[in-house]
Amino acid sequence: MAGMVLGGRYRLEAPLGSGGMAEVFRAVDERLGRRVAVKLLHPRALPPERERFFLEVRALSRLFHPGIVQVLDLGEEEGRPYFVMELVEGGTFDRLGPF
């Protein structure tokens, strides 16, 4: 997927993680020249998963707090919805140990 461009704007660079319904990639917004994170729904996602994905985006886009990433854009490429958010550099919670 590296090198793929979504929405004519977001070039995927490297995977950051994946879950049951989506993958997250580090990407570059070629229009603004900044790094972002892109969450891309799996191609095999069923309609209920698609609905959960859109619920997540709508909920996250309404939250404003320094500790919560901001949603920057929403789109769809070849039938796969995605949303773009701020990229937070650093590690994952996995490195902190079990919770």
Q: Which of 80, 87, 61 is nearest to 7 (CA)?
A: 80
- C-alpha distance from residue 46 to each of 1, 62, 81, 95 (Å): 21, 25, 12, 32
Could you tell me the residue ranges of all domains in the chain?
5-88
- The response to whether 39 counts as a known ligand-binding position is yes
Strand-strand pairing, 10-18 and 5-6: antiparallel
pLDDT tens, position by position, for the chain (99 residues)?
789 999 999 999 999 999 989 999 999 999 999 999 999 999 999 999 999 999 999 999 999 999 899 999 999 999 999 999 999 987 666 666 676
- Options 3.90.76.10, 3.30.200.20, 3.30.70.1350, 1.10.10.10; CATH for 5-88 is 3.30.200.20
What angle is formed at CA 79 by the lines to CA 29 and CA 18, rounded to 5 degrees?
A: 65
Q: Which of 23, 21, 73, 75 is nearest to 48 (CA)?
A: 21
Per-residue confidence (pLDDT) for residue 96, from 0 to 100:
66
Per-residue confidence (pLDDT) for residue 1, from 0 to 100:
79
pTM of the predicted model over 0.95:
no
